[in-house]
Amino acid sequence: CLGSGLSWEPRSRAVEQVHLRCTEGSLEWMYPAQALRVVLEPNLASAQQTTVCIKPASDFQGASIYVERSGQLHLVVSEAEGARPRHVSCFSAHTPQRVALFLQASPQRDISRRTASFQYELLSNQVTALFFLAMCRPCDNVELLMAICSSDFVVKGSIRNVSHDSENHMSQVDVSVQKVYRQKNRIFQQEEGSGEWRGPIRTLLQCKVKKGGGDFLFTGNEHFGEAWLGCAPRFKDFMLVYRAARERGANPCEFELN
């Protein structure tokens, strides 16, 4: 969604309202002026509870973001953060079918180019809990078998390097990929020079990921265009679990063994 505060009448006190129907997307408000109310109302009738996550752009300027709860505004993103790194902010939505955000433009004397832009995702609380809480612990066999069926990406590969970003509380695992079984978007790509398939996977710093030898099966989900680590067993251990489940007829989906 793209809009500009220059279309506002200077003396008008009306709050512009925008309705967004998708479960994920982005909004770009150029030359923020006065206020903008953004209503997220996707078709989530089956979800009893929903978590909303917002990631401001690195050049977010000109406004602050609030969430409406019971008629009150609660600050989510403040322009006062200035050039600080932009973190993902998540909060629970009391009414999953309708979440209202309020963008308040900051006072300014000129019409210099400022843009208040951010990405958003709406997740069921079940997905959020698995993503944030179960990320650091090893998956059990049931979770592993479900991960190969439902993850946004499933790749076989080895760890080239692990780097840590203490300021943003994240670690990045650079993966050398042998086989891409599935990926939602083109995070894992073939390098033009070497022809090698590679890709970055993020995880929380608190997980204390270290470089290890051997082949792994990396699974996980994409959030804001980035791959986040889910279950990542050694490939030989995964094969034992999957073959045993298939013999019992307990595998929830078929997986390409060769």
Q: Are residues 116 and 206 in the same domain?
A: no
Do 142 and 227 fall into the same domain?
Answer: yes
Beta bridge partners of 89: 54
- Considering the domain architecture, whether residues 43 and 76 belong to the same structural domain is answered as yes
Q: Tell how strand 189-190 and strand 197-204 pair up.
A: antiparallel
Q: Are 152 and 121 part of one and the same domain?
A: no
Whether residue 9 is contained in a domain is answered as no
pLDDT at 27 (0 to 100)? 92
pLDDT > 70? residue 186: yes
Q: Is the pLDDT of residue 247 over 70?
A: yes
**Shared domain check, 149 and 90:** no
pLDDT at 5: 45
Give the mean pLDDT of 54-77: 87
Read off the pLDDT band of 83 (50, 70, 90). Answer: very low
Asked, for residue 1, whether it belongs to a domain, the answer is: no
**Residue 95 and residue 38 share a domain:** yes
- Considering 127, 160, 176, which residue would you say is the last residue of a domain? 127
Phi, psi of 146 (to 5 degrees): -70, -35
- CATH number reported for the structural domain that contains residue 156 in this entry: 2.40.50.120
3-class secondary structure, 125: helix
3-class DSSP assignment, residue 185: coil
pLDDT at residue number 79? 79
Q: Which residue has the higher pLDDT, 192 or 161?
A: 161
Nearest to 12 by CA among 116, 105, 114, 111: 105
The predicted pLDDT at position 203 comes to 87
Structural domain span for residue 89: 16-127
Question: 8-22, 81-95, 184-198, 244-258 — which is least confidently predicted?
Answer: 81-95
Whether 75 and 146 share a structural domain: no
CA proximity to 215, closest of 227, 195, 232, 229: 232
Cβ(35)–Cβ(64) under 8 Å?
no
235 and 204, same domain (yes or no): yes
Average pLDDT, the chain: 82
Report if pTM > 0.85.
no
> How many folded domains does the chain comprise?
2
Write the pLDDT tens digit of every residue in 141-157.
Answer: 999 999 999 899 999 99
Would you state the pLDDT for residue 31? 86
Is 25 part of any domain?
yes
- Among residues of the chain, what percentage have pLDDT more than 90? 35
Q: How confident is the model at residue 42 (pLDDT cuts 50, 70, 90)?
A: confident
Mean pLDDT over 87-95 rounds to: 73
Are residues 92 and 54 located together in one domain of the fold? Answer: yes
Please report whether residue 79 resides in a domain: yes
Q: Is 143 helix (H, G, I), strand (E, B) or coil?
A: helix
One-letter amino acid identity for 12? Answer: S
Q: Tell me: do 146 and 107 sit in the same domain.
A: no
Within this chain, do residues 60 and 144 fall inside the same structural domain, yes or no?
Answer: no
Q: Which of 68, 93, 127 is where one domain is finished?
A: 127
Average pLDDT over residues 26-30: 90
Query: Residue 83 has which token pair?
Result: 């050039």
The answer on 150 and 221 residing in a single domain is yes
Q: Which residue has the higher pLDDT, 53 or 182?
A: 182
Which range, 28-32, 68-72, 177-181, is most confident?
177-181
State the average pLDDT over residues 213-218: 94
Domain boundary among 127, 155, 187: 127
Q: Is residue 253 part of a domain?
A: no
